[in-house]
Amino acid sequence: MGQELVPVPPFQISQLAILVAGLFALRGLARWMGGGAEPNPSRRGPPVPALPSLLQVAAAAAVAVGLALLGRATSVPVYWTAAAVAGLCSLAAICVGAEVGAAFARVGYALPSIHRVEAGSPGSVSAEGMLAAAGAATLLAALAQGTALIGPGDAGLIVLAALAARLLERWLRGALGPGAAARWLAVLTPAAIGAGLAAAFAVLLP
């Protein structure tokens, strides 16, 4: 990451707004797919209420815009922009993966042991959910590349950061249990987790 990143144009915040709109579209598509599927008898817990969902997207947008604005005050704004994009891609991966996994998965895999558990178990992921997460993160990263926010060499690392953020978020949910702390962690932190992982990958995988 870094060499391929393109300079940040003046309308960067507008570009990020396009990504937020794309995030809403992906989340809506995932909810529609989940609602149209035969309910999974192993699905646990009530559906995510609308208010936390909106707060989740608002938190991701705030992280992205904040990183973009901070980047403008530095000599390397492109790194901050890539982290902002990674934050939004992480939330897309987490939201879409959760919706699709809850609707279609039959088997889950507990983290970090990867042993088979009932789909929907706290702290677990499913193959269906991870595939959907990868697709959502890839689509949003492609949109970011198409709007010149990131270069072609950065999309792969951003998708990797988004998938790592989903795994970390699922593990934290299992570690913290079903209480309010876990629910609000899932609402407020996915974008920050993804942005931080993308920044770490940029340093460790130049």
Q: What is the mean pLDDT of the chain?
A: 75
Question: What is the Cα–Cα distance from 156 to 202, expressed in whole angstroms?
Answer: 11
Q: 152 or 191: which carries more pLDDT confidence?
A: 152
Is 114 inside any structural domain? yes
Amino acid residing at 99: E
Is 157 inside any structural domain? yes
Residues 99/112, Cβ–Cβ less than 8 Å: no
Question: What is the Cα–Cα distance from 200 to 34, expressed in whole angstroms?
Answer: 33
Question: What is the Cα–Cα distance from 25 to 85, expressed in whole angstroms?
Answer: 16
Is residue 10 over pLDDT 80?
no
Residues 149/142, Cβ–Cβ less than 8 Å: no
Residues 165/34, Cβ–Cβ less than 8 Å: no
pTM for this model (two decimals): 0.77
Give the model's pLDDT for residue 135.
Answer: 93
Question: Would you give the DSSP letter of residue 123?
Answer: T
Domain count, the chain: 1
| Mean per-residue pLDDT, 167-194 | 75
Q: 129: how many CB neighbours lie within 10 A of its CB?
A: 28
Is 22 inside any structural domain? yes
Give the model's pLDDT for residue 35.
Answer: 61
Is 21 inside any structural domain? yes
Q: How many helices (H) and strands (E) does the chain have?
A: 7, 3
The rounded percent of the chain whose pLDDT value lies above 90 is 10
Express each pLDDT in 28-60 by its tens digit. 777 777 664 434 444 444 444 444 566 777 777
The boundaries of the domain holding residue 104 are 12-37+48-204
Give the model's pLDDT for residue 134.
Answer: 94
Question: What is the Cα–Cα distance from 130 to 84, expressed in whole angstroms?
Answer: 22
Give the model's pLDDT for residue 67.
Answer: 77
Amino acid residing at 54: L
Is 183 inside any structural domain? yes
Is 2 inside any structural domain? no
Is 184 inside any structural domain? yes
Is 43 inside any structural domain? no
| Mean per-residue pLDDT, 7-23 | 66
